[in-house]
A and B are shown apart, each in its own frame.
Chain A
Amino acid sequence: AQTVTQSQPEMSVQEAETVTLSCTYDTSESDYYLFWYKQPPSRQMILVIRQEAYKQQNATENRFSVNFQKAAKSFSLKISDSQLGDAAMYFCAYRSAQGGSEKLVFGKGTKLTVNP
């Protein structure tokens, strides 16, 4: 079974600075998807960014980018120019690309605090 590990339970960053959240995963599959979700205090799960394993190019969405290292099974999230609204729980998630395995497997999350 696939597992996702987020080794940083909590992180903090100063407003306007850059922070990187770590995620590693364990799988024997070669084709899969990786996601970062944001959960603010409202509890809503918001998709931040996703990456297909077959793509070598790292995904980018505005101030959010990933560093995808397939061989190392690492998928970190970089938040640039941090804003107060970025404060939230961040979850890394894995999904197999194989049919019949469309489950999202989540890490335990990283709580990000943004200091003004």
Chain B
Amino acid sequence: NAGVTQTPKFRVLKTGQSMTLLCAQDMNHEYMYWYRQDPGMGLRLIHYSVGEGTTAKGEVPDGYNVSRLKKQNFLLGLESAAPSQTSVYFCASSPRVLQGNYGYTFGSGTRLTVV
């Protein structure tokens, strides 16, 4: 059981370049989330999805786009990377109904540096 897998784990981009971060989960979870983590700021929600084909904005959505064409995948795109987007990005998933260990599963993170 792989849980939540993020690719890539590390990436360096030049300002203005674009890239896509991929999140894949194999737990059949309905909900998926993208967070960014910056020193002293905790984890802030970028975008999230409550089901295939649906997405919504979180706390810090500017400069990012997302897509959830398949239930198991949640893509985070940066169309024109900026140094302010240097961060560690986490994907997470959860079932619709929280039970047991309350179902939030996190990926191992992607460290992105924009130079």
Number of contacting residues on B, CB 8 A?
Answer: 24
* A-B interface pairs (CB < 8 A), number: 51
A44-B106, A47-B104, A91-B43 given; A104·B88 CB < 8 A: no
Query: Is the CB of B45 closer than 8 A to any CB of chain A?
Result: yes
**Chain A positions within 8 Å of B58 at CB level:** 103
Secondary structure dominating the interface of B: strand
Q: Please, which residue of chain A has its CB at the minimum distance from the CB of B30?
A: A102
Number of contacting residues on A, CB 8 A?
Answer: 22
> Which one, B16-24, B67-75, B79-87, B90-98, is touching chain A?
B90-98
Contact with A along B46-78 (1 / 0, CB 8 A): 001010000000100000000000000000000
**Chain A positions within 8 Å of B35 at CB level:** 106
Residues A45 and B42 in contact, CB atoms below 8 Å apart:
no
Q: List 22 A-B contacts (CB under 8 A).
A: A6-B42, A33-B98, A43-B108, A44-B106, A44-B108, A44-B109, A45-B90, A91-B42, A91-B43, A102-B31, A102-B94, A102-B96, A103-B45, A103-B48, A103-B58, A105-B45, A106-B35, A106-B42, A107-B42, A108-B40, A108-B42, A109-B40
Q: B residues within 8 Å of A by Cβ?
A: 31, 33, 35, 40-45, 48, 50, 58, 88, 90, 92, 94, 96, 98, 101-102, 104, 106, 108-109
